[in-house]
């Protein structure tokens, strides 16, 4: 399908949210805003300044305030105001099952680490992560990939808003357990990546422990084609992998060509901005006028040998530079290739070229900023260009909505990590490993078959239960006697209700409803009525009551039927009974009573 | 581990674990485990026997870094370090925290500090604050006198656990102060990007350049990184074990705040004097006793035998079981001092209100309004060490350093 | 006083004092003073000798009033009185407060209570709450079992000083509850028109008629007379010595409120069970020790000798001086229990974070999250009295009655 | 002057606010709102229901909520949230001095009592009061009165607002020490009362310890003319005593006559209301229509033998009844004598009379209230009438703005009082008594003479200092060297400034200003400048600074003068110097420098 270079290598980091409460506290997976918030500043750790991690330093150079909105599923642990609690054993065991599922080796001791991340996505400034195992293999169809590591980590905050130097996050997602399964870079096609990622996700789905939600599976893609490793973050839709990789390949090929030209011209020299506010005197460019009015200076720099490489044909080195600048909050940059434009005339372009004494192949940059920032900005630009010209494209990039990628930060190194001293080393006992092996998830199709057979439901229904993430509720409730009833409600009634009322009923509520009805020996009609009321927004405590959900019994029904005039349509009768009593009624019971009554009526009539 | 192999700390090794070839740096041996940092950054703990084969070993020397003990120019501020986490560094391989004296690590975060202050770092102690002892308070007071001669303000970095004890002790030991004494600590250690230490220290240095002639505490006023409170040492208490805003002024508002680079001291306070002078002694035979139902008379009597003075944390307005009255009376009759405080923490004692209180009062128990237990203990130690015994009670009930509040307003509880 | 004259209490006399003729009622003799209430209402204290002449004396009998022990109709509520000021009366001549059992004095203030509740007053103890002992907790628990058979709710009036100790002790002693147990007290005694007792009691009776199957405390939630909080006994603490809103839930919000005649229980709570049952024993050899700098090793070791269990109020996350490690280790090695709590009151203990904590943990110290010292003491007494020693630690760290909070949110400190 | 009955007896209770902080806590006498408030309900103490005090029970029958506004001179003691502190020794000693001043006997022990007051004016529900002494005599001119008691008590809250069942108080006045001096009822004329009251007040003024403020002297007047004692509360203006008493005498005489008539007719019977809503059918009376619309009933009662006594000629028994009802919040009462009126026609009046079967002398009452309140209201009315008919007029009445009095509550009895157990008995030592005798205030004219002589100021100035309550500051500051300067500022400059800027400068501020200037050896001009700035609203901490208040010295002045062109008017020069330097300047120094300069100029010119 695609025209791929031969030397591409793809590796995956698949992140799966485990639906088992938070990893280091007792908060639940789901939550809502409390309306309370607080702000923080993150400092690059002093201790790291020596052998420090480049990506950390990078973030530290940006002065930002982080605002956190407390959700009702966050506590002092998420606020970074209390030490982490002991690790969530369910989450840990799930990670071990997943490791077993791929035949990975499980470590005998788990050391929780802190991975420094100071973009504010973790209140502490680090993400807790632990290596659980390594090795093993994922296979699916003709594709396969070796697993390099399996880690258990905390999910980060959910970004809500970014404006000025303030970034706002919600704490609802922070601390949700993530199983990270990383493969070796041994995949050679986007299709292979998709299939491997799908297989990894399906295993946790098969366990029924994947959290519901749009971002419950996220993958990062490692990609290289000979110019260093690019880590593409935040690929949430599997099917997009192909297009993303194609665009990244195009980008790298164009870059390779541009660099070849640039180097052929003799390479470049570090740029250096000079102020020249008067050069734009008399300009009609709103961009320039607005900037100077805001007290900014016109800074000019010659970019040696850069002409027609920044934006021309397939070349887009201008964007590479702009992306890097965006990360430090600098937006106002213009360059030779894109002019005349933005109200800057050809004549003005020429004036600048003359002023900077441009050579034949030279380009220039215009930066609209205060002069005091010039040094800092030029450093960022020079570093960026130097790295590109050296042919090292390795970096962390973010996947965008349009499936292009954008520069995010340098690659993270190992010095981002140091031990989480608040949590002692966790011993993985023989029992835990045996349990993991015993309960390791099977490939989804096998699970489907097993469930279908065991509970006497169709494979389609079993599959739906698994994909809808209601399989664990199904198993639990089916064991209490009536798998078909439970299945019917979960597979038909529930999605129908959710669609009709456009609202999701969470698993905890579902579990409560089933538990209450089954404990009271109430059947299908009671469960359905309860779910309907819940989807209408009635609070649980007003619904889960015996006097409310107890089905109308035969003698009550017989009595009630007397007052009903039209007795032809059972469904209509049922509706009327429900509206009179406010309680559920079994249609078959209506049919039965109807039968009896018509018989007795008949008797009377004759 | 293959026999005959000795692995040395700091070396890089290639080895086989669970049939996989791995490479990592040996961080150390702890409780018979090898602690190895893998190339991907993760640490693993391995029993040496689990390592089947060592492929290669590279011994590497540790890098020692230099640090500066003085930094910046302007107002002279001394930072005396007693070993709290605040001026500490973390060893990023092991996660262990060790004290640092590199003052520029703090000051360099705030460029204006480098321009306005000449900060000197004074190593003094290197202990966990729960191990602080009364003798060290006295030594610290002497150190303060010395530093007050060459600095315009003194910051003391201190572990938060016993910070208010030290702050109170210093407040009583220092008769007059020609420089502000600002204690500072952190609730999140400096190895975390989210540490509160830098802001607390930034505020402390600024407070130390004011005319505040008392012992204060500079800590977060909320869990946000925006406003640092200056609390009067003798009225402050650590009221939460882990939050950034753990320190509270009890019964009064903070004396001042630091926000957006500005110090605003709005509460009443003593201005700094012409010179700094101290009491020379401290009486160690004093302690705090926490009353509770089920406490036995012997618990009390045996404890009192060893003490020249006792601070009782009674219930409510200052009560203990009436079965203790005789023991207490005998104690005070022998010239020793029993001071009643309340385990409620907030609010005053008043032994005039209930019959138990009046009995205790008659049995010789001293009560000093709303003095905090920690302040009562340290005040007692200073008073007993430096005044004749017939003056003890009078001194105890007389406000010396703002430790006894005359008024409590509505909003401070 | 003229010789030969004997003045009897309660008599009305005319006499001359400082050349002025006065008339008054003799209230009593206290500390060798005659206490006389003048006709204008003022009391004077006179040394008998100062009275020059007694003009007249009228002996008058005291009036005894009747009281009712039951009142109203409707839901049966028992009010067990332990002698707090709340069901007390004042002798308006001397100002002395004495316990009363006239339940109608309270219920008659709220007409709807008379209509909805049948309230019975049960005299049980008549002591100041600081004199409460563990045996009495056990007796009270037995009394509760008895009353639970004929009432739908139980209110216990109690002095506020040790109310949270008793509430905690009852919570642990009572395995299951078929009735709500609501403790109630007052911070302003009932002789004042401004007393908080009536509102607290009104709320208590209403809480006692709910399905709250725990031990709760019914006290003012602010200094205004408008909203009464229902606090979970094991998480409540008297945090101010004198204010009406002294009682606070530590680390959680109150379970519910009473306002405008309505009960609203919004927090999570255990519903009442089918029956009430109790633990039969309580181990008295347990106590609370408050760590402070200057504490000596012998202070600790001598104290521990007498105790089967000790609750230590350490600093911060649960620390004490490392010099005590050996003593502690020896203590726990001998099968006894040391539980760490924090003198910060708010926040959790965590012995995994700092090196001292880890040493203490290794020395056998038990830590149970954010359990309060009072709850830890009473829980320890109940556990040690009723479980084999090998279960103690496990029980201690496992939440039994909501005493260990799993989550602490932003707004509760 | 007035036509007085022969048997009148007047006694006084003079209340003087002592300017020495609060009585049982450490708050200051002056304060402002903090914006924080709380609400309370007061309960009649259960223990009192037996031998209880009528006035207390009376208040308890009214269901009211009290709202208290915390002032910055209030603390937990005022909030009734903390036990009282030890008694204010300055206030106590002042009370002892006052007692000595009148030759009263001082008790050896002071017992603080609680006087129950549940109108909300005390947060605790009681006022703390203690008997300090008794006996002694007040003399002034031809008048004299024996002192019965001298008490030291707390002042009550200041009422801010009353609306519905909510009464709002400020806490600023609560707890201010009050010396209460009560005389025997041995005064026989209003003039005598005025002179005696004046003499009492002047003694505290003479001490310089009377608090500044409109209500710092308040007197209650006890009055009787044979029908029982009437206590008239809240007579704040001395000169009003005459008119108040005259109006009270008129009231009692008219009452006596009305009662005589009523009794002659055979007295009355207790009234009893009956509902008759239909009797007013078709009425045009808005009052009736509004009431019935609001769900109230028309309640009617016959008042036997009451005709033409409720409101007719000089008779006003209707008002006596209305006043009593007003206290329990009942306003809608109408009676026979005032009809037809309020839209009620003669015909309707007749209809009611017929319905109630009125006899010749009978009257009726119309009450517009809910029927359920009828019993309660009729009890209040019956008690009121019964008491009046018995000829017992004794009660507590309030002085109104128009110098009439209104029923307030029954007289307080001694059972309102019980000991304040929170405060131990206070021993009055021999030292304290000796001190009191030594410092006992002299009559004002003697004090004036003494001060005048001692400090070399005029008797007028001394008198002004005393009346302006700045005498204590004067004495204190005068001792530091320059009495005339201090006097001049306090007597001339200060009142002038206060008048001009329409604001009061409190004594604490005055003391601070003088203390600062005198400590720095700054003179009159510095003090004046400081006071001017303060009256302009500049905060003290920005004024009391050396660099601000140090007078311009001669050398500075000499230099400055050079730049001033017009040098004729010294006052103009002074203003210019002040405006240049922002610092005070001594006019005489200007004159001197001017002299020097003109001489030297002269020299140069010649």
Segment A395-418 mean pLDDT: 86
pLDDT band (50, 70, 90) for residue C108: low
Q: Do chains D and B touch (3 or more CB pairs under 8 A)?
A: yes
Indicate the angle between helix axes A241-264 and A317-326, nearest 10 degrees.
110
Task: Quick: pLDDT tens for A547-563.
Answer: 889 999 888 888 888 88
Q: Could you tell me if C102 lies within 8 Å of chain B, comparing CB atoms?
A: no
Question: Which of B53-67, D279-293, D548-562 shows the lowest mean pLDDT across its residues?
Answer: B53-67
**Which among D115, D124, D134 has the least Cβ separation from residue C194?**
D124
Task: Tell me whether residues C410 and A38 touch, CB distance under 8 A.
Answer: yes
pLDDT > 50? residue B126 = yes
pLDDT > 80? residue A566 = no
Task: Tell me whether residues D43 and C195 touch, CB distance under 8 A.
Answer: yes
Residue owning tokens 């590796």: A11
Task: Output phi, psi for C68, to 5 deg.
Answer: -105, 140
Residue A384 CA to its chain's centroid (Å)? 29
- Dump strand ranges (E) for C149-300: 153-157, 174-176, 181-184, 215-220, 227-232, 236-238, 247-249, 256-259, 262-265, 277-278, 286-290
Segment C395-412 mean pLDDT: 94
Residues 6+ apart with CB under 8 A from D397: D230, D231, D232, D233, D248, D405, D406, D407, D408
pLDDT > 50? residue D49 = no
Predicted confidence at residue A605, as pLDDT, reads 44
Predicted confidence at residue D175, as pLDDT, reads 97
**Which among C317, C352, C407 has the least Cβ separation from residue A75?**
C407
Task: Tell me whether residues C44 and D416 touch, CB distance under 8 A.
Answer: no
CA atoms within 13 A on the CB side of C92: 23
pTM for the model: 0.87
| B chain contacts of residue D75, beta-carbon cutoff 8 Å | 407-409
Q: Could you tell me if A124 lies within 8 Å of chain B, comparing CB atoms?
A: yes
Indicate the angle between helix axes D89-101 and D190-207, nearest 10 degrees.
130
**D429: left (phi > 0), else alpha (psi -120 to 50), else beta?**
beta
pLDDT band (50, 70, 90) for residue A417: confident
CA distances to A33, B284, B309 from C295, rounded to whole Å, are 46, 9, 12
pLDDT band (50, 70, 90) for residue A415: low
Which of B264, B266, B347, B407 to mutate against chain D (most D CBs within 10 Å)?
B407
Q: Do chains A and D touch (3 or more CB pairs under 8 A)?
A: no
Predicted confidence at residue D50, as pLDDT, reads 37
Q: Which of B161, B191, B225, B299 is catalytic?
A: B161
Q: Which two tokens stand for residue A190?
A: 């986007």
pLDDT band (50, 70, 90) for residue B196: very high
Instruction: Report the alpha-carbon distance of residue B348 to residue B342 in Å, rounded.
Output: 7
Q: Could you tell me if C348 lies within 8 Å of chain A, comparing CB atoms?
A: yes
- % of chain B at pLDDT higher than 70: 90
Helix (H) or strand (E) holding C22: strand C20-30
Exposure string of B85-115, with b = 16+ CB inside 10 Å and e = fewer, is bbbbbbebbbbbbebbbbbbbbbbbbeebbe
Q: Could you tell me if C330 lies within 8 Å of chain A, comparing CB atoms?
A: no
Predicted confidence at residue D569, as pLDDT, reads 81
| Subunits close to A (at least 3 CB pairs below 8 A) | B, C
Segment A267-280 mean pLDDT: 92
Predicted confidence at residue A52, as pLDDT, reads 43
**Residue D9 forms beta bridges with which residues?**
D224
Predicted confidence at residue D539, as pLDDT, reads 80
| A chain contacts of residue C359, beta-carbon cutoff 8 Å | none
Instruction: Report the alpha-carbon distance of residue A13 to residue A221 in Å, rounded.
Output: 6
Residue owning tokens 């600095």: B151
Predicted confidence at residue B93, as pLDDT, reads 58
Q: Could you tell me if B130 lies within 8 Å of chain C, comparing CB atoms?
A: yes
Instruction: Report the alpha-carbon distance of residue B105 to residue B102 in Å, rounded.
Output: 6
Predicted confidence at residue C68, as pLDDT, reads 62
Predicted confidence at residue A591, as pLDDT, reads 85
Predicted confidence at residue A601, as pLDDT, reads 53
- Asked if D513 and D531 touch (Cβ cutoff 8 Å), the reply is yes
Which of C44, C46, C62, C92 to mutate against chain D (most D CBs within 10 Å)?
C92
Segment D342-364 mean pLDDT: 94
CATH 3.40.50.1170 residue ranges for chain B: 70-278
**Residue D322 forms beta bridges with which residues?**
none
Instruction: Report the alpha-carbon distance of residue D511 to residue D21 in Å, rounded.
Output: 15
CATH 2.30.30 residue ranges for chain B: 12-56
Instruction: Please indicate whether residue B161 is annotated as part of the active site.
Output: yes
pLDDT > 80? residue D599 = no
- Reported residue count of chain B is 413
What is the CB neighbour count within 10 angstroms for residue A581?
Answer: 16
Q: What is the mean pLDDT of chain A?
A: 89
Q: Which of B25, B143, B238, B379 is catalytic?
A: B238
Q: Could you tell me if C353 lies within 8 Å of chain A, comparing CB atoms?
A: yes
**Residue B35 forms beta bridges with which residues?**
B28, B45
Segment D368-380 mean pLDDT: 85
Q: Which two tokens stand for residue D98?
A: 């006052």
Which CATH architecture does the domain made up of B70-278 adopt?
3-Layer(aba) Sandwich (3.40)
Which CATH architecture does the domain made up of C286-396 adopt?
3-Layer(aba) Sandwich (3.40)
Q: Kindly identify which residue of chain D lies nearest to residue B352, measuring between CA atoms.
A: D422
Radius of gyration of chain A (CA): 31
Task: Tell me whether residues B42 and A113 touch, CB distance under 8 A.
Answer: yes
- Per DSSP, the residues of D64-106 read -EEEEEEETT--TTTTT-S---S--HHHHHHHHHHHHHTTPEE
CA atoms within 13 A on the CB side of A530: 30
Task: Quick: pLDDT tens for B66-111.
Answer: 566 788 889 999 999 887 666 666 666 556 666 666 666 666 677 7
Instruction: Report the alpha-carbon distance of residue A539 to residue D247 in Å, rounded.
Output: 69
| C chain contacts of residue A423, beta-carbon cutoff 8 Å | 352
Question: Which of C55-64, C223-232, D388-397 shows the lowest mean pLDDT across its residues?
Answer: C55-64
- Asked if A108 and A427 touch (Cβ cutoff 8 Å), the reply is yes
Residue C387 CA to its chain's centroid (Å)? 27
**Which among D74, D76, D83 has the least Cβ separation from residue B352?**
D83
pLDDT > 70? residue D55 = no
- Per DSSP, the residues of B341-367 read EETT-BS---TTSSHHHHHHHHTT-EE
Q: Could you tell me if C194 lies within 8 Å of chain B, comparing CB atoms?
A: no
Task: Quick: pLDDT tens for C246-299.
Answer: 999 999 999 999 998 899 998 899 989 989 999 999 999 999 999 999 999 999
pLDDT > 90? residue C307 = yes
CATH 3.40.50.40 residue ranges for chain C: 286-396
| C chain contacts of residue A27, beta-carbon cutoff 8 Å | 407
- Per DSSP, helices labelled H in A399-553 are 430-438, 444-455, 459-467, 471-478, 483-488, 494-501, 507-519, 524-535, 546-549
Asked if the peptide bond before residue D340 counts as cis, ω within 30 degrees of 0, the response is: yes
Q: Which two tokens stand for residue A508?
A: 């905890």
pLDDT band (50, 70, 90) for residue C61: low
Sheet holding B309-314, edge to edge: B286-290, B309-314, B337-342, B366-367
Choose the most confident range, by mean pLDDT, from A43-52, A377-386, A537-546, C364-373.
C364-373
pLDDT band (50, 70, 90) for residue C189: confident
Measuring CA to CA, which residue among D22, D285, D46, D253 is closest to residue D152? D22
Which of D32, D73, D85 to mutate against chain B (most B CBs within 10 Å)?
D85
Active-site residue set of C: 85, 160-161, 238
- Per DSSP, the residues of C114-144 read HHHEEEEEEE-----GGG--HHHHHHHHHHH
Task: Quick: pLDDT tens for A437-490.
Answer: 999 999 999 999 999 999 999 999 999 998 888 888 999 999 988 999 999 999
Return the biggest CA–CA distance within chain C: 81
Helix (H) or strand (E) holding C198: helix C197-208
Q: Which two tokens stand for residue C130?
A: 């600081």
Task: Output phi, psi for C122, to 5 deg.
Answer: -115, 110
Task: Tell me whether residues D109 and C199 touch, CB distance under 8 A.
Answer: no
- Per DSSP, helices labelled H in A70-123 are 89-101
Predicted confidence at residue D601, as pLDDT, reads 53
Task: Quick: pLDDT tens for A309-345.
Answer: 999 989 999 999 998 888 777 877 899 999 999 999 9
Instruction: Report the alpha-carbon distance of residue D199 to residue D139 in Å, rounded.
Output: 7
Predicted confidence at residue D53, as pLDDT, reads 46
Segment B334-358 mean pLDDT: 95
pLDDT band (50, 70, 90) for residue C380: very high
Domain covering B12-56 in this structure, CATH number: 2.30.30
**Angle CA(A152)–CA(A154)–CA(A157) in degrees, nearest 5?**
155
| D chain contacts of residue C244, beta-carbon cutoff 8 Å | 81
C-facing residues of A in 51-110 (CB < 8 A) are 70, 72, 74-76, 79, 82-83, 85
């Amino acid at each position: 399908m695609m025209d791929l270079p031969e030397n591409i290598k793809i590796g995956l980091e698949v992140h799966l949210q485990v639906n088992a409460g938070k990893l280091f506290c007792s908060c639940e997976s789901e939550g809502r805003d409390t309306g309370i918030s607080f702000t923080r500043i993150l400092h690059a750790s002093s201790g790291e300044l020596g052998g420090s991690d480049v990506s950390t330093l990078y973030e530290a150079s940006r002065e930002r305030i982080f605002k956190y909105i407390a959700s009702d599923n966050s506590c002092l642990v998420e606020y970074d105001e209390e030490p982490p609690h002991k690790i969530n054993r369910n989450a840990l065991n799930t990670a071990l099952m997943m490791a077993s599922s791929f035949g990975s080796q499980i470590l005998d001791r788990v050391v929780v680490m802190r991975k420094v991340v100071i973009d504010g996505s973790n209140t502490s400034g680090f993400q807790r992560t632990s290596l659980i195992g390594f090795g093993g293999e994922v296979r699916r169809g003709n594709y396969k990939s070796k697993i390099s590591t399996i880690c258990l980590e905390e999910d980060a905050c959910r970004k809500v808003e970014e404006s000025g130097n303030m970034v706002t996050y919600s704490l609802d997602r922070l601390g949700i357990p993530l199983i990270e399964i990383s493969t070796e870079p041994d995949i050679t096609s986007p299709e292979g990546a998709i299939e491997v990622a799908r297989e990894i996700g399906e295993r946790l789905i098969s366990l029924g422990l994947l959290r519901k939600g749009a971002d419950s599976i996220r993958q990062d893609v490692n990609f290289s084609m000979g110019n260093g490793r690019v880590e593409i973050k935040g690929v949430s839709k599997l099917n997009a992998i192909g297009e993303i990789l194609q665009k990244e390949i195009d980008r790298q090929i164009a870059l390779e060509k541009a660099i070849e030209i640039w180097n052929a011209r003799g390479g470049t020299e570090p740029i250096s901005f000079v102020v020249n506010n008067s050069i734009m005197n008399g300009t009609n460019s709103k961009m320039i006028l607005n900037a100077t009015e805001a007290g900014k200076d016109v800074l000019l720099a010659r970019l040696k040998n850069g002409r027609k490489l920044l934006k021309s044909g397939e070349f887009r080195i201008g964007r590479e530079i702009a992306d890097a600048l965006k990360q430090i909050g600098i937006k106002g940059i213009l360059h030779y290739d894109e002019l005349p434009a933005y109200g800057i005339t050809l004549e003005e372009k020429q004036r600048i070229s003359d002023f900077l004494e441009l050579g034949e192949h030279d380009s220039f940059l215009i930066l609209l900023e205060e002069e005091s920032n010039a040094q800092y900005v030029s450093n960022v630009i020079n570093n960026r260009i130097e790295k590109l010209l050296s042919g090292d494209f390795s970096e962390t990039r973010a996947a965008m909505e349009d499936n292009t990628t954008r520069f995010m930060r340098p690659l993270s190194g190992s010095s981002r990590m140091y031990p989480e001293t608040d949590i002692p080393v966790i011993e993985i006992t023989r029992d835990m490993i045996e349990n993991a092996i015993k309960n390791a998830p099977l490939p989804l199709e096998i699970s489907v078959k097993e469930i279908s057979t065991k509970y006497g439901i169709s494979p389609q229904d079993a599959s739906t239960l698994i994909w809808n993430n209601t399989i664990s509720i199904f198993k639990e409730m089916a064991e209490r006697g009536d798998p078909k009833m439970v299945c019917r409600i979960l597979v038909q009634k529930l999605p129908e209700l959710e669609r009709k009322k456009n609202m999701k009923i969470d698993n905890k509520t579902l579990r409560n409803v089933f538990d209450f009805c089954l404990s009271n020996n109430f059947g299908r009609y009671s469960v359905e009525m309860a779910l309907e009321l819940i989807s209408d927004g009635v609070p649980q405590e007003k619904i889960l009551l015996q006097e409310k959900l107890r089905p109308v019994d035969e003698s009550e029904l017989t009595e009630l039927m007397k007052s009903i005039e039209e007795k032809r349509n059972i469904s209509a009768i049922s509706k009327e009974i429900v509206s009179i009593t406010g309680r559920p009624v079994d249609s078959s019971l209506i049919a039965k009573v109807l039968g009896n009554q018509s018989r007795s009526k008949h008797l009377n009539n004759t | 581990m293959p026999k005959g192999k000795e692995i040395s700390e700091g070396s890089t090794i290639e080895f086989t674990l669970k049939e996989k070839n791995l490479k990592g740096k040996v961080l150390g041996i702890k409780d018979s485990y090898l602690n190895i940092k893998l190339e991907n950054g993760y640490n693993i703990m391995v029993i040496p026997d689990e390592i089947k084969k060592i492929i290669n070993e590279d011994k590497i020397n540790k890098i020692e870094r230099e640090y500066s003990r003085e930094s910046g120019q302007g107002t002279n501020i001394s930072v005396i370090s007693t070993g709290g986490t605040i001026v500490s560094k973390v060893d990023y391989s092991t996660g262990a925290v060790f004290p640092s004296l590199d003052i520029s690590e703090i000051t360099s975060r705030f460029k204006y500090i480098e321009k306005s202050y000449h900060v000197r770092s004074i190593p003094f102690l290197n202990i966990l604050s729960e191990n602080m002892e009364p003798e060290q308070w006295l030594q610290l007071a002497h150190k303060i006198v010395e530093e007050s001669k060459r600095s315009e303000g003194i910051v003391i970095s201190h572990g938060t656990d016993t910070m208010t004890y030290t702050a109170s002790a210093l407040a009583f030991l220092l008769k007059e102060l020609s420089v502000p004494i600002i204690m500072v600590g952190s609730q999140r250690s400096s190895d975390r990007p989210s540490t509160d230490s830098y802001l607390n220290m930034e505020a402390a240095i600024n407070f130390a350049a004011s005319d505040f002639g008392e012992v204060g505490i500079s800590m977060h006023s909320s869990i946000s990184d925006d406003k640092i409170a200056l609390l009067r040492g003798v009225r402050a208490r650590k009221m939460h074990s882990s939050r950034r805003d753990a320190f509270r002024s009890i019964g009064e508002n903070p004396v001042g705040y630091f926000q957006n680079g500005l110090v605003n001291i709005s509460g009443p306070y003593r201005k700094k004097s012409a010179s700094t002078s101290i009491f020379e002694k401290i009486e160690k035979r004093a302690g705090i006793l926490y009353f509770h139902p089920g406490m036995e008379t012997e618990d009390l009597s045996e404890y009192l035998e060893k003490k020249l003075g006792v601070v009782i944390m009674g219930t409510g307005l200052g009560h203990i079981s009436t079965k203790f009255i005789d023991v207490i009376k005998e104690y005070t009759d022998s010239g020793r001092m029993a001071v009643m405080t309340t385990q409620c923490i907030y609010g005053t004692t008043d032994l005039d209100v209930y019959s138990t209180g009046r009995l205790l009062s008659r049995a010789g128990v001293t009560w000093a309004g709303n003095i905090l237990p920690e302040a009562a203990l340290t005040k007692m130690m200073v008073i007993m060490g430096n005044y004749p015994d017939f003056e003890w009670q009078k001194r105890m009930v007389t406000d010396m350093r703002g430790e006894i509040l005359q008024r409590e307003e509505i909003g401070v509880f």
